[in-house]
Structure 1
Amino acid sequence: MSGGIKGILFDLDGTLLDHRGAADAAITAWASELAPGHPRLPEVAALWAALEIPHLAAWQAGECSWQEQRRRRVRALCRELSVEAPADLEAAFASYADHYRRGWAAYPDVAPALAELRGYTLGVLTNGTQGVQEAKIRALGLDVGPVLTGECLDGHFKPSAACYAAAARALGLPPGQVLLVGDDLDNDVRGPAAAGMPSVWIDRLGVEAAPAGFPRLTSLAGLPALLATRYLS
Structure 2
Amino acid sequence: MNFPVRAITLDLDDTIWPIAPVMIRAESILGDWLREHAPRTAERYPAQAMRELRDRIAAERPDLAHDFTQQRRLTLEHMLRETGEDIALVAPAFDVFFAARCEVEHYADSEEALARLAARVPLAALSNGNADLERIGLMPLFRFQLGAREHGRAKPDASIFHAACTRLDVEPAQVLHVGDDIEMDIVGGARAGLRTCWINREGRQWPHAQLRPDLEFTTLAALADWLDTAHRTDTAAA
**What per-residue deviation string (whole Å, max 9, x for no partner) do you get for residues 70-92 of structure 1?**
3322356x59xxx8374323333
Q: Distance in 2 between matches of 1:85 and 1:158?
A: 37
Taking a change above 3 Å as real, the CA distance of residues 177 and 48 of structure 1, as seen in their structure-2 partners, is: farther
Amino acid at match of 2:218: T
1:196 paired to 2:198:
no
Structural mapping, 1:1-233, within 5 Å: 3-34=3-34, 43=48, 47=52, 50=55, 54=59, 58-59=63-64, 68-74=70-76, 78=79, 84=83, 86-88=85-87, 89-101=90-102, 103-117=103-117, 118-128=119-129, 133-137=132-136, 139-140=137-138, 142-150=140-148, 153=151, 155-204=152-201, 206=202, 208-212=204-208, 213-214=212-213, 215-227=215-227, 228=229
TM (norm. structure 1) is 0.72
Q: 1:55 to 1:225 in 2, by over 3 A?
A: farther
Q: Deviations over 1:47-83 (max 9, x none)?
A: 588569658953356xxx876533322356x59xxx8
**CA distance in structure 2 between the partners assigned to 1:181 and 1:53 by the alignment:** 26
Aligned length: 217
Task: Compute the displacement of 1:34 (Å).
Answer: 3.7
Residue by residue over 1:99-140, the C-alpha shift from the partner in whole angstroms, topping out at 9 and shown as x without a partner, is 334x233332112212332212221112345xx634345x34
- Structure whose alpha-carbon radius of gyration is higher: 2
**Native 8 Å contact 1:32 1:41 kept in 2:** no
Gaps of at least 5 residues in structure 2 are: none
For structure 1, the 5+ residue unaligned runs are none
8 A Cα contact 2:29 2:96, kept in partner: no
Shift >6 Å, 4+ stretches: 36-40
Q: 1:51 to 1:17 in 2, by over 3 A?
A: farther
1:168 and 1:32 map into 2 onto residues whose CA distance is 42
Deviations, residues 153-184 of structure 1 (Å, cap 9, x unaligned): 5x343221122122112111111111111122
- Greater mean alpha carbon deviation, residues 51-60 or residues 207-216: 51-60
Structure with the largest fraction of helix = 2
